[in-house]
C-alpha cells in the first residue's frame, strides 16, 4: 500500500530532505533580505530551498560526469559533500552572520542527521529483518530528520552560534574537528561489515558530534563570561565617573552662588553711579551666558543631571548640536548606578555615531508615557545603518571587544522587563528607544 506513495512521492523528495529541513532550520540566523511580513520570510526560505535543491542536482550531475571520465568510483562521501556544498552556498547568500558560524552549523547538523539516520535504520533492521520496507524507510527518515531539526532548535536556543563574537580560532578549530568527523564517517562506512560493527561505529560518530557540540557550548559560555566581566568593569567605571561628575557639579553650584553675590554687588554699583550703558552691556553678556546655561538639564535626580549634562557638554565640544527634554516621574524604575549606566551608554553610542559628520545632531527625550518611562535618543546618520547591519553588531576590527554599550543596554532592558526598539525615523536619523515599566 505504501510502496506506490513511496516510489512516486517520498523517494524523489527524500533525495533533497537535507536541504528541505536544513534551510528553514538555519533561520536561526537573520535573513539577508529585509522582510517584515511573515509571508515574505517564508517566500525567501522556500526560494532558498529551491536554489539549494537545484544546486545539489547540478553538483550530482557534475559528479557523475567526473567519475565516468576519471574512472573514479562513486561514494557516500561524495554524495554527502554535494549536500554540504549546496547548503553552505545557499545559506551564505540567504542569511546574515559569520560565514564560519553558518558553515560550522551546517556541517554539525548534516553529520548528526546522517549518523542518527543510520542508527535508526540499523536498529530497525535488527528488529525487522530481513527486509527494509518502504514504510520502515519513511519512519527512519522522519525520526532522523526530526532529530536533525531538534538539534538545530537546541543549538539556536541555548548557544550563541549565530553570534559574530566567536573568535576565528574557535570557529576554525570546531570546523576542522567536525569536518574530519564528517569525512571519517562517510569514508569508513564502505569498509565496515557486520550490523553490530556498523551500528557501533555510527553510535561513536553520534558521540563525536555531541562532543563537538559540547566544545561549541563551552567556547560560547567562556566568551559570555568574558563579556559579562567587561560589562561589570564598564559599570564600575561609569559609576565612578558619575560620582566625580556629581562632586564637580556641587563645586560648580557653590562657585555660582559666590559669583551671583558678586554680580548683584556690581549691578547695584552701576545703578547707583548711573552708568547705564555699561549696565546694558553687562546684562546682554549675562543673557548670552544664560542661554548657554539653559542647555543644562535640571531635574530632581542628581544622577540624571550629572550624566546628561556631562555627555551633552562633551558632544557640543565636538561640534554636535544637542537638544534635550527630560521629564521624570516621582519614582524611577532604576537604581542610580543602573540609571547611570543606561544613560551613559545611550549617549555614548549616539556621540560615537555622530563623529565625522558635517552637521551632527543628538536629541534626547526622557518622559513617562502611561505605565512606561521612555528613554529616547535620536542621532543623525549618513546612511541607513539598519539596512547594512540590522542587529547593530560591531563592525570594528576586534568585534568581541566592542559593542559592549549595546549589550549593557539590552541587559538592563531585559532585567527590568522592558522593551528595546531601534529604527530609522528618517533617511538620515536613527532612533534608539528603551521603555521601562514604572
What pLDDT score was predicted for residue 397? 40
CB burial of 110-140 (b: ≥16 within 10 Å; e: otherwise) equals bbbbbbbbbbbbbebbeeeeeeeebebbbeb
Structural domains in the chain plus CATH codes: 2-229 (no CATH), 297-438 (3.30.565.10)
Return d(Cα 230, Cα 406) in angstroms, integer: 13
CA distances from 407 to 230, 271, 403 (A): 10, 59, 7
Quote the percentage of the chain above a pLDDT of 90.
14
129 three-class SS: coil
What pLDDT score was predicted for residue 262? 66
Task: Tell me the residue ranges of DSSP E strands in 9-98.
Answer: none
What pLDDT score was predicted for residue 164? 43
Return d(Cα 380, Cα 133) in angstroms, integer: 65
Using DSSP bridges, classify how beta strands 429-437 and 372-380 pair: parallel, antiparallel or unpaired: antiparallel
Question: Do 70 and 64 form a contact (C-beta atoms < 8 A)?
Answer: no
* Stretch (H or E) spanning 85: helix 76-94
Q: CA triplet 52, 56, 58: central angle to 5 degrees? A: 120
Question: Do 367 and 327 form a contact (C-beta atoms < 8 A)?
Answer: yes
CA distances from 144 to 5, 22, 27, 117, 324 (A): 20, 12, 20, 4, 58
Using DSSP bridges, classify how beta strands 372-380 and 321-326 pair: parallel, antiparallel or unpaired: unpaired
Question: Do 24 and 14 form a contact (C-beta atoms < 8 A)?
Answer: no
Dump pLDDT digits (tens) for 168-198.
777 677 777 777 766 776 666 666 665 655 6
Residue 142 half-sphere exposure, CB side, CA atoms within 13 Å? 7
Residue 325 half-sphere exposure, CB side, CA atoms within 13 Å? 7
Contacts of 353 (CB under 8 A, 6+ apart): 379, 381, 385, 430
To which residue does cell 561549541 refer?
A: 216
CB burial of 160-174 (b: ≥16 within 10 Å; e: otherwise) equals bbbbbbbeeebbebb
CA distances from 212 to 22, 114, 143, 165, 209 (A): 19, 16, 22, 18, 5
Dump pLDDT digits (tens) for 190-230.
666 656 556 666 666 666 667 766 766 776 666 666 666 66
Question: Do 205 and 182 form a contact (C-beta atoms < 8 A)?
Answer: no
Cell of 341: 549606566
Dump pLDDT digits (tens) for 237-251.
655 665 665 566 566
Contacts of 314 (CB under 8 A, 6+ apart): 351
Using DSSP bridges, classify how beta strands 372-380 and 419-426 pair: parallel, antiparallel or unpaired: unpaired
Return d(Cα 164, Cα 395) in angstroms, integer: 10
- Sign of the CA dihedral running 311, 314, 320, 322: positive
Which parts of the chain sit beneath pLDDT 50? 164, 291-294, 395-402
Amino acid at each position: 500500500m505504501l510502496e506506490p506513495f513511496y516510489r512516486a512521492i517520498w523517494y524523489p523528495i527524500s533525495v533533497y530532505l537535507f536541504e528541505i529541513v536544513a534551510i528553514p532550520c538555519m533561520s536561526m540566523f537573520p535573513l539577508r533580505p529585509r522582510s517584515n511580513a511573515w509571508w515574505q520570510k517564508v517566500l525567501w526560505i522556500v526560494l532558498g530551498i529551491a536554489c539549494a535543491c537545484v544546486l545539489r542536482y547540478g553538483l550530482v550531475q557534475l559528479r557523475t560526469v567526473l567519475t565516468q571520465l576519471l574512472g573514479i568510483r562513486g561514494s557516500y562521501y561524495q554524495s554527502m559533500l554535494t549536500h554540504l556544498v549546496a547548503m553552505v552556498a545557499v545559506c551564505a547568500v540567504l542569511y546574515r552572520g559569520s560565514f564560519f558560524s553558518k558553515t560550522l552549523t551546517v556541517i554539525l547538523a548534516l553529520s548528526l542527521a546522517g549518523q542518527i539516520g543510520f542508527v535508526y535504520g540499523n536498529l530497525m533492521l535488527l528488529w525487522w529483518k530481513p527486509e527494509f520496507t518502504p514504510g520502515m524507510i519513511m519512519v527512519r527518515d522522519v525520526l532522523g530528520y526530526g532529530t536533525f531539526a531538534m538539534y538545530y532548535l537546541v543549538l539556536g536556543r541555548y548557544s550563541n552560534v549565530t553570534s559574530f563574537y566567536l573568535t576565528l580560532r574557535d570557529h576554525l578549530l570546531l570546523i576542522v574537528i567536525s569536518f574530519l568527523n564528517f569525512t571519517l564517517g562517510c569514508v569508513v562506512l564502505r569498509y565496515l561489515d557486520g550490523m553490530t560493527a556498523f551500528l557501533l561505529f555510527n553510535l561513536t560518530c553520534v558521540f563525536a558530534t555531541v562532543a563537538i557540540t559540547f566544545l561549541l557550548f563551552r567556547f560560547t559560555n567562556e566568551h559570555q563570561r568574558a563579556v559579562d566581566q567587561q560589562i561589570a568593569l564598564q559599570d564600575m567605571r561609569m559609576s565612578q565617573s558619575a560620582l566625580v561628575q556629581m562632586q564637580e557639579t556641587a563645586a560648580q553650584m557653590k562657585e555660582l552662588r559666590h559669583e551671583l553675590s558678586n554680580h548683584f554687588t556690581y549691578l547695584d554699583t552701576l545703578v547707583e553711579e548711573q552708568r547705564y550703558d555699561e549696565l546694558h552691556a553687562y546684562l546682554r553678556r549675562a543673557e548670552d551666558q544664560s542661554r548657554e546655561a539653559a542647555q543644562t538639564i535640571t531635574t530632581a535626580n542628581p544622577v540624571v543631571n550629572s550624566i546628561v549634562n556631562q555627555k551633552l557638554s562633551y558632544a557640543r565640544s565636538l561640534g554636535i548640536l544637542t537638544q534635550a527634554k527630560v521629564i521624570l516621574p516621582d519614582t524611577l524604575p532604576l537604581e542610580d548606578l543602573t540609571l547611570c549606566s543606561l544613560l551613559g551608554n545611550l549617549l555614548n553610542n549616539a556621540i560615537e555615531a555622530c563623529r565625522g559628520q558635517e552637521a551632527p545632531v543628538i536629541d534626547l527625550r526622557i518622559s513617562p508615557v502611561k505605565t512606561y518611562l521612555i528613554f529616547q535618543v535620536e542621532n543623525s546618520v549618513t546612511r541607513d545603518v539598519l539596512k547594512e547591519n540590522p542587529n547593530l553588531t560591531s563592525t570594528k576590527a576586534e568585534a568581541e571587544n566592542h559593542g559592549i554599550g549595546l549589550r549593557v543596554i539590552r541587559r538592563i532592558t531585559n532585567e527590568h522587563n522592558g522593551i528595546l526598539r531601534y529604527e530609522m525615523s528618517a533617511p538620515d536619523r536613527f532612533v534608539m528607544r528603551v521603555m521601562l515599566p514604572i
